[in-house]
A and B are shown apart, each in its own frame.
Chain A
């Protein structure tokens, strides 16, 4: 069977209705699907599992061997049915159409309506769409089958309700208007493959390494080699059209220890920049080694041997492992909105990360929430993350401005008493037992309360037992001029924040 170059290959999809689409990829149900995959693999070893419930094989070769696509589909459904599992098989051009063909409504097996359907469609236990008939087969489907929520919403409002309508749009217009996902969906609607079928096979090892013999005692040769190594890694990725989100730098010492750190890459780092990160990693590791060794040695009379450059006997192997591979689709900076981080700032932040670790340098993102501690989400420099609680919502009951300048991630335990020295309590009706007169925060000295307000009760997330919380909040001003945000929870006083804490007070806390 000759095939025009670039035409989508014939794909046979097997669909088992017993697996619902929302089964997670890992779990007992997903593992149970393995027996179906094994049965299909008897006919063709390269099976791609689309998700638990649907798998696919390239139909060209097996169909020739088993006497045609219809015979192949029948043999596969019989084999799976022998396992006691209901399944249907569909053959079409491309994976997307084959999945729809497998799930197409069954026609009358007697063939009464077989001739009346779309021309070129043969009815079997499943549906077989003859080569070239795929666009016609797809045309009546609604655009929602594309599985792109944005398009499913937008296209009908533009009057494009079926895949046929969508496929009639000029390719360039579809790509211009709907971007990369739109262009991909347009290919699907035209009966083309958005990507070739990827059979399950061991993924190629894209990591690169270099050995040092004799071990490299100084950082310089390692960094120099890292530059060439990074170039090789990037060439290997580019040849496969991939980019990595992170790169793992792994340096092995002669004594067997590994110095491993993950660096954000995003397909943006040049070979030189990767080499620079290798240098920071080695520098910070060496600094930590020196700090660990210096104390016992400084006390002794003998200083460290200056000739011994590397504490662990030198580096014998440097390995770069691309992590989280993604298809390289290029990168476009936003015209507006994205805070552009200058190279200078990025370099300083990354250096500090090299010294203290990735999580040591944070960028704050303002979030929603009622507590001062909730209203900020900290994101490690170089990552992007949405705030935990959405900002810009009303959050009734949130602490009013001014915001406290010191917020304790873990509230301090406190004691609050009235004039008589008894602990102040809050009743179920949110009334204080007595005016607070004295405060001791975090075991600190007793301070006179000069002004106070509250209690303001808050009952949050009562529907979730794990995170439910009832608090009564107070604002207290103490004689030293400081103001505190205090709360009573389960009968205990907590200091959640301080409006402006002096450094001395934290030291005493």
Chain B
């Protein structure tokens, strides 16, 4: 864990910009108006101090769940999210991550003219999650970055994006709760590494529950060693019979 990881929550934040609203907070555009950062979930605060800068591009690597979690903070705060180019997206997983399905637009196939589609979406939505159908040329990249800056939207790219302000990748991951023929998938430990330009230049790595045993994203408190994946798996092995999803032949 790099020493820079323990950034106090208040430093590097703009007033009002990084209030991490709980699920119960009133939602609506008003909550996001007049701020120049979009909030992120509390678990990601150390990786992205200050939240997602409006007008920026964030590359979130190949992990689709990480992309969804990045978008969740803005959605909980009342923003609209559009997801383009991910036809196989699991909407239930998105909803579990915190995205409000009522404020979600899905464009499964943005087609040949995807830069124009993304530009239109950035005009209307706070956050656009995009998997580019093709590797964008430098010209397209610059144009979309300019559109994002103009409208104050955040473009989260599932994949890589040259010139992204911030880049997050999953370095290691391990599923827990499942053994050899017993238990079931319960939680996953991932090591997320964030780096970027400017203030975010220093790489930061954090172990996260993505998702945690209760379905939420959380920071692993004491690192992986203290937790003991084997111990968790053993516990699940005991309860596996009870919690098995199979509860008798279903009829209906």
Contact = CB atoms under 8 A, between A and B. Distances in A.
Interface of A: 287, 291, 339, 342, 344-349, 351-352, 355-356, 360-366, 370, 372, 375-376, 378, 381, 396-409, 432, 435, 451-454, 456-462, 475, 477, 481, 483, 497, 499-506
Q: Range of interface residues on chain B? A: 35 or more
Nearest to B110: A356
A342 B125 CA distance: 10
B101 A365 contact: yes
Given A348-B120, A364-B104, A500-B63, A477 B185 contact: yes
B131 interface: yes
15 contacts: A345-B125, A351-B123, A363-B104, A375-B91, A396-B250, A404-B93, A435-B181, A452-B178, A457-B249, A458-B246, A475-B185, A477-B178, A481-B174, A497-B90, A500-B188
A342 B29 contact: yes
Contact of A402 (B64, B180, B215, B240): B215
A352 B178 CA distance: 43
Contact of A397 (B102, B211, B247): B247
Nearest to B117: A352
B230 to A, nearest CB: 12
Contacts of B183: 453
B89 A407 contact: yes
Given A361-B105, A396-B250, A459-B249, A453 B117 contact: no
Nearest to B246: A456
A459 B249 CA distance: 7
B15 interface: no
Nearest to A398: B245
Contacts of B64: 405-406, 500-501, 503
Nearest to B109: A360
Interface of B: 29, 62-65, 68, 80, 82, 87-96, 101-113, 116-117, 120-121, 123-125, 131, 158-159, 172-175, 178-188, 211, 215, 240, 243-252
A401 B96 contact: yes
Contacts, number: 199
Contacts of A483: 175, 178, 185, 188
Given A376-B91, A453-B179, A499 B185 contact: yes
B184 A453 contact: yes
A503 B106 CA distance: 18
A400 B186 CA distance: 9
Contacts of A363: 101-102, 104-106
A402 B187 contact: yes
Nearest to B96: A403
Given A405-B89, A503-B131, A366 B107 contact: no
Contact of B123 (A348, A366, A409): A348
Given A351-B120, A405-B65, A475-B185, A451 B105 contact: no
Nearest to A499: B185
Contact of B108 (A287, A360, A370, A408): A360
Nearest to A472: B246
Nearest to A461: B252
Contacts of B113: 287, 291, 355
